[in-house]
Chain A
Amino acid sequence: MLNKHEAQIMESNKQLALMIEEKEKRAAELLKANIELEHQNNEKEKRAVELLRSNEDLKRTEAKLLEVNKELEAFSYSVSHDLRAPLRAIGSYSQMLEEDYINVLDENGQRLLGIIQKSAVKMGVLIDDLLTFSRLSKKEMRKSRINMNEFVNNIVDEYAKISSHHAKIIVNELPDVLGDENLLSSVLTNLLSNAVKYSFKNEHPVIDISGKKITENNKEFVEYCITDNGIGFDMLYVNKLFGVFQRLHNEKEYPGTGVGLAISKRIIDKHDGKIWAKGELGKGSSFCFSLPC
């Protein structure tokens, strides 16, 4: 009897020892887990500090950007105000000279005076164009759904009123688009006037305006192209087309300041769209832009 009890107690002791061992093992594991957790916590805090720091960096960059923008505004104000005043003087005084002293100026003297006047006028146009370009960045967009056929026809009609050209303009079926009417109108007017200007020498200039819907990477776009049969351009210089004051053709034959396409590109960029050109010397060119739907 006693032996049986003894055996039972021994058995229980054994089990107890086993359980204790198990418990210690668990405790050790728990300790390890705790250390791991602490480590993770530390890591997390480090990340939080890093995040805070990059947020501060971002804020600083933003403040700097605002400052630069302000400087740019002050600059464009100064361009418009302070450059205009002396320019007005150059033009006006050469005009006074012409009015009061034309009789004592010989032919060459008059020619020189004419160049001064013409250059002053041109600089005025340049300043205005540059201002339009720099003002674009702070202009807010007001997007609406545009009935493109109606819109383009209006632009073609308006353009016909201010320019005497003999180009045949074909407006095909165009898909509608979401965009800022004022801004897109200046893009289309610019592309149209370029097409007219550079096809002027062709006996039968034809300008074709077309559009279509396209899907790229599951996103829908509308694409418009204005194609002419004018003098075209060498694709070697295609990258220069959209830069400010870049010109591919002689100014005497094709007047302009070289800001129009730069303005157009900026407007299309603002719409998150793309603008590009294809051309062949002597055959014509095609200017296209696409906008997200």
Chain B
Amino acid sequence: MENTLVEILLIEDNENDAEITIRALRKSNIANKIKHLSDGEQALNFLFGKGDYEGRDVEIKPKLIMLDLKMPKVDGLEVLEKIKSDPVTKKIPVVVLTSSREHPDIEKCYELGVNSYIVKPVDFDNFSTAITQSGMYWMLINQSPDL
């Protein structure tokens, strides 16, 4: 069972966006230990040591969770709600990344306790920059509590 340290947990169903995100994070040396999961169900199993991740030490927590909203099966809002309502995971900073500025969920996310809400910029330089800056802020500048 993988009990290795994960610095950033990326929950993103779009493989391309995931690749761009991981590349931006690696390139700016923000994090090397990035775990990418492509749906909400896997993410919850990972965080709470269930299903495929049965027996994983849940006390080994990521320093940051990057979460896409629109996903099949368990969507981002549901994942966020579970993370923020469980004492084991609620202190982990969660950055929501979403495709559309039309999304009415911004209010809902903040009500559920999201730490940051980013609309993926449509142009590419800006997308990488947004990921890099957000990663930089949450991993290096922001002071998180002991998780």
Neighbour of A87 across the interface among B100, B101, B122, CB < 8 A: B122
Smallest CB separation, B69 vs chain A (Å): 10
Contact yes or no, A85 B124, CB < 8 A = no
8 Å CB contacts to A: which residues of B1-24?
14, 16-17, 20, 23
Within 8 A of B (CB), among A51-103: 76-77, 80-81, 84-89, 91-93, 95-96
Q: If the complex has contacts A88-B127, A91-B124, are A80 and B20 also in contact, measured as CB distance less than 8 A?
A: no
Which residues in A have their C-beta under 8 angstroms from that of B70?
81
Cβ of A84 and Cβ of B16 under 8 Å apart?
Answer: no
The one of A88, A120, A131 in contact with B20, judged by C-beta atoms closer than 8 angstroms, is A88
- Residues in B with CB closer than 8 Å to A84 are 99-100, 120, 122
Interface SS of A by simple majority:
helix
Contacts of B99 in A (CB 8 A): 80-81, 84-85
Count of interface residues, chain B, beta-carbon cutoff 8 Å = 18
Is the pair A124, B102 in contact by a Cβ cutoff of 8 Å?
no
Contact A80 B102 (CB under 8 A): yes
Say how far A92's CB is from chain B's closest CB, in angstroms. Answer: 4
Min C-beta distance of A21 to chain B, whole Å: 84
Tell me if A184 is interfacial: C-beta within 8 Å of chain B.
no
Is B102 touching A77 in the complex (CB atoms < 8 A)? yes
Interface presence of A121 (CB below 8 A)? yes
Closest CB of chain A to B79's CB: distance in Å?
19
Query: Does any Cβ of A come within 8 Å of B111's Cβ?
Result: no
Q: How far is the CA of A91 from the CA of B16 in the complex (A)?
A: 11
Produce 1/0 per residue, B90-130, CB < 8 A to A: 00000000011111000000000000000010111101100
Docked complex Cα distance between A128 and B123 (Å) = 11
Tell me, in angstroms, the Cα distance from A92 to B70 when the chains sit together.
20
CB within 8 Å of B: which residues of A? 76-77, 80-81, 84-89, 91-93, 95-96, 117, 120-121, 124, 127-128, 131
